Amino acid sequence: MSKHTLATLVAGLAILILLPFTQSNYGVFVLCSWLVYSISAMGLNLTLGYAGQVSLAQASFMGIGAYTTALMTMAGVPWPAAMIAAMVLCFVIGFLLGYPALRVQHHFLAFITLAFNALVVLMLRNEEWLTGGTYGIVGIPRPELFGLQTQKPLAFYFFVLALFVLMAVALYAIIRSPWGRAFKALRENPIRANSLGVDIRKTTLLAFAIGSSYGGLAGSLLAQLTQFIDPHSFGLTISLKVLLMVIVGGAGFFFGPILGALLIVLAPEFLRFTEGYYLMIYATLVIVLMVFCPTGLLGLVERARTALKLRQNPNATTWEAGR
Amino acid sequence: MTPVLSVRNVSKSFGGVKAVDNVSFDVHQGEILGLIGPNGSGKSTLFNCVLGQLPASTGTVLVDGKEVAGKPPCDLNKLGVGRTFQMLQVFPEMTVLDNIILAGQEHKGTMLSRLFGKPDAGLTEEALRMIDFFRLGHQTHEKAGSLSYGQQKLLDAAMAFMAGPKLVMLDEPAGGVNLTMLADLKERLKAFNQERGATFVVIEHNMEFVMSLCTRIIVLANGRIIAEGDPETVRNDPTVIEAYLGG
């Protein structure tokens, strides 16, 4: 990592630490949702952006994580155990959901994961004895850390921020490791990867499992943030929202989903003054971005950088010429 | 000595068509075997059967005396079999260096140790040597997709060699490569063969390339072996001439 990148990261972290102090309780809540959705989108970015496996089920893993955490903590299980259980459960279910991906790809896989999301929502709605049905679960406790309550918005914000940083670092380590290389190879050319010794079976399943466990943790945090969950919070529209975060930010870029989540969580706040036109403006912006830059905002940044490099030194790279 | 590759009575049918019909041959350590034949003669199908990409209908394939039928390509690769593909097969969005490291990393340690070990699996130095060996040094940090066609062919070959395989199967390495690059490729392959004792099986349509590279040639037509021998013998074999000219 270059000094420049490191300085940017430190500055970014400093902003994340100081920013909530300038915000109202509502502002802190919005920041928390941004970080929570970022964790979920980071997971989907691994599955979709790096490993190339389409999934429309990320919200269902958030749901599984949220309900697991809610039910366990309300039954008296300590919150760390409940959160780890949520992640492990999502890892296992994500691993199993990866099996169809060994047979089908692209839009077929999209439909399978979409159906899975619908199935999870139905179960959350219909198994009233466990999930409270459409009424959901109310009064989910927030964690207590070394005798410190996170009931207050600021305290909870720092709890979420700590986990966000931890998960980002973990993801960065995975992406940089040979596993990350194998994930990208799976995305770019599974047949060639297989002939070079990459076990594409295991790699595919792990891409789903790890991505899903990130969804599980995000759901777990969402349950604690809102202290109320219902099946509606984990429907297909939420999966599409997380997908949009990944795509808008830039799939396969490390900071893509974080930037995407920022835009998509904050857009309603900024566009509030437009009142009824909010959704129309939002949809138009997404269409324009996708038409002109399908690689997302960070893809746009990379394109600009390459263009700049080429202008400074026309022989610097053959990247554009080779396309 | 046990042959590096032993193909015994391999057949492959697609519906009623026998693409490969009872083919047997051995390849010994250090050989460069050419596999030639007109279009549709079964070369690629035979390759795919040997490499586990397609299941053979009948027959067995042994690598170093070990039966490999039914093994997936990744396991075959771990046994020391490298390959290149007829169509370009690199990872375009990854750098040349990452392409090469990927080609070696799965042979280092276990899956778990690769997650927690060094990001490059300790392969950067070796990868840079391999990149230099294939004269791609000035492109190390470029994305593979930005290389010219011929350079990508070289990269493809370099990847096949990265894990130090006993046997490399090359599917039309010369296809679409310009003359200068072709001479380069041939010279690099020969050097690899002589310096490291690597064994090759090459499918190729470019006769000049095959005749000057290979030590032995097998000719396939309609899924069967119709001739075998050193380049000179094969070149003058009347059945071969007939098969090619369709007499």
pLDDT at position A104 is 87
Torsions phi, psi for A149 (to 5 deg): -80, 140
- A323 pLDDT more than 80: no
Dihedral sign for Cα atoms in the order A177, A180, A186, A188: negative
First vs last Cα of chain A: how many Å apart? 28
Residue A304 lies in a domain: no
Residue A23 has what pLDDT? 93
Amino acid occupying residue A15? I
Contact B148 A191 (CB under 8 A): no
Contact B110, B166 (CB under 8 A): no
What pLDDT, on a 0 to 100 scale, did the predictor assign at position A303? 87
- CB-based contact, A321 to chain B, within 8 Å: yes
Provide the pLDDT for residue A320: 39
Please report the ipTM that was assigned to this predicted complex. Answer: 0.90
Confidence of residue B231 (pLDDT cuts 50, 70, 90): very high
Q: Lowest-pLDDT range, A40-44, A58-62, B142-146?
A: B142-146
Q: What is the pLDDT of residues A263-285, one digit of tens each?
A: 999 888 888 888 778 888 888 88
- A19 CB-contact burial (10 Å; exposed 0-12 / middle 13-18 / buried 19+): middle
Task: Look up residue A141 and give its two tokens.
Answer: 């406790």
In chain B, what residues touch A181 (CB-CB under 8 Å)? 94, 98, 101-102, 105
Least confident of A42-46, B22-26, B92-96, B232-236: B232-236
pLDDT at B218 over 80: yes
Q: pLDDT, tens digit, for every residue of A6-25? A: 999 999 999 999 999 999 99
* A9/A7 Cα distance (integer angstroms): 5
Give tens-digit pLDDT for A212-230. Answer: 999 999 999 999 999 999 9
Question: pLDDT exceeding 90 applies to what percent of chain A?
Answer: 77
Q: Which CATH number goes with the domain that contains A130?
A: 1.10.3470
Do B102 and A196 lie within an 8 Å CB cutoff? yes
Residue A306 lies in a domain: no
pLDDT digits 0-9 by tens, A63-94: 999 999 999 999 999 999 999 999 999 999 99
| CB contacts, 8 Å: B149 with chain A | none
Q: Is there a domain that residue A320 lies in? A: no
What integer pLDDT is reported at residue B1 of this predicted model? 80
Q: How far is A170 from chain B (nearest CA, A)?
A: 11
> Minimal Cα–Cα distance from B141 to chain A, Å?
10
pLDDT per residue as tens digits for the range A308-317:
888 877 655 4
Question: Across the interface, do B102 and A200 touch by the CB < 8 Å criterion?
Answer: no
pLDDT recorded at residue B184: 85
User: Mind listing the pLDDT tens digit for each residue in A285-316?
Assistant: 888 988 888 899 999 998 888 888 888 776 55
| Confidence label for B246 from pLDDT (cuts 50, 70 and 90) | low
Residue-level pLDDT at A54: 93
- How many other C-beta atoms can be found within 10 angstroms of the C-beta atom of residue A269? 10
Beta strand pairing call for B216-221 and B224-229:
antiparallel
| Rounded mean pLDDT, B19-31 | 94
Residue type for position B207: M
Position B150 confidence tier, pLDDT thresholds 50, 70, 90: confident
Q: What residues in A contact B117, CB-CB < 8 Å?
A: 177-178
- Determine whether the interchain pair B105/A317 forms a contact, defined as Cβ–Cβ distance below 8 Å: no
User: Comparing A256-260, A278-282, B26-30, B236-240, which segment has the lowest mean pLDDT?
Assistant: A278-282
| Domain residue spans of chain B | 5-245
**How many independent structural domains does chain A possess?**
1
Q: How far is it, in rounded angstroms, from Cα B155 to Cα B101?
A: 12
Q: Quick check: helix, strand or coil at residue B4?
A: coil
pLDDT attached to residue B159 = 94
Task: Supply the pTM of this predicted model.
Answer: 0.92
Q: How confident is the model at residue B119 (pLDDT cuts 50, 70, 90)?
A: very high
Q: Which amino acid appears at position B79 of this protein?
A: L
Whether residues A196 and B163 touch (CB distance < 8 A) is answered with yes
Cross-chain Cβ contact A198/B89 below 8 Å: no
The mean predicted confidence, pLDDT, of chain A is 92
Task: Write down the pLDDT at residue B196.
Answer: 85
Residue A131 and residue A137: Cα distance in Å, rounded? Answer: 7
pLDDT > 80? residue B161:
yes
In a domain, A232, yes or no: yes
What's the gap in Å between the CA of A268 and the closest CA on chain B?
34
Average pLDDT over residues A126-151: 90
What is the fold of B5-245?
A: Rossmann fold (3.40.50)
Q: Is the pLDDT of residue B164 over 90?
A: no
Whether residue A47 is contained in a domain is answered as yes
Amino acid B215: pLDDT:
94
Q: How far apart are CA B229 and CA B218, in angstroms?
A: 7
Number of H helices, E strands in chain B: 10, 10
Task: Identify the domain containing residue A207 by its residue range.
Answer: 24-274
| Neighbouring-strand partners of residue B168 | B82, B200
* The predicted structure's pLDDT at residue A10: 95
Tell whether the model's pLDDT for residue A145 goes beyond 80: yes
